[in-house]
Structure 1
Amino acid sequence: MNELSPKPAGNRPPRQPRTGLTSTGARKAGSKSERSRAREFALQALYQTLVGKNAVDDIDAFTRDLAGFSKSDSVHFDALLHGCTEEAAELDVLLLPLLDRKLAEISPVEHAVMWIGAYEFKHCLDVPWRVVLNECVELAKEFGGTDGHKYVNAVLNGLAPTLRAAEMAADRGKSRS
């Protein structure tokens, strides 16, 4: 059989390169930090609050039983799930001026990702703003719609100067040096 002939139907698909990324550009599970995993579980839990309107305590218990939860940062998960649900109205107020459509028209995945980003900008000052932004874009790439990550990036990039102005100014000062 030469190189130009079709491959037999029983062949496997080509191997994915071991770069830490899937074919869609999202990070592979093995290369994710405990906090990244916590954000993924928080996203899934927040989705349940937005779509299913389930009780937070029930969602919390359910999520902790999911495979892989033990490899996540449970303290960060708690902060995100309970913080975002308790401050949902305030987080939405921060996001609304940056949206180009009604909140009801935003995908629940992107909405939950933006809650996570806004919450981390506001409360998780140990996480650099660029890391928050990147992590949220990665979540939107992995779980959201085709171009949802671009929307999340634009909204959170617009929010960062409001909640992390000093940090962004310091970053600009470093880049000019």
Structure 2
Amino acid sequence: MSTEQPLYERDPESWHAYLVEGNARQPRKRVSADVLIRDVSGRILLVEPTYKPGWDLPGGMAEANEPPDMAARRELHEELGIDLEIGRLLCIDWVAPHGPWDDLLAFIFDGGRLTPAQVSQIRLQNSELRAFEFCHDDLITERLPQSLSRRVAAARSALVKGDVRYVHDGSVAR
């Protein structure tokens, strides 16, 4: 048995340098943070981005070292002009690499139900969004890519059951 002190005890600066080097070599994950926002009828808010085809949930990409819930709140404020308390986590989706993209961890948080007064305060804030609309299930399925539609369904199920769903590309993982 060695009696030599571990590196972190005998040379804290070298230990720190070792950790910095290890961190630099670790893979990075892209992280998105979306919000499931409903109106009083239970319809889900979708947004139409200008920078890609189709519709999406409100939210967006987390910045470096930004917690996903704070990223979601920031994105809602930047794009829709609303300051909304972000509720509990509903779903985490591991999205496999596709096209030019590496894999992604996609979070969906509960945004609650907006009153008509809150809905009337939504204002598109920048050129990233063309439109927003509260949609029933059939329109959600029609507008969203299949994997995102499945992710939304998983989030809605988690909302009803009071749990959190972990999915792969929108499908139940194990």
In proportion to residue count, which structure has more strand?
Answer: 2
TM-score normalised to structure 2 length: 0.29
* Higher RCO (CA < 8 A, seq sep 6+): 2
TM-score normalised to structure 1 length: 0.28
Q: Which structure has the larger Rg?
A: 2
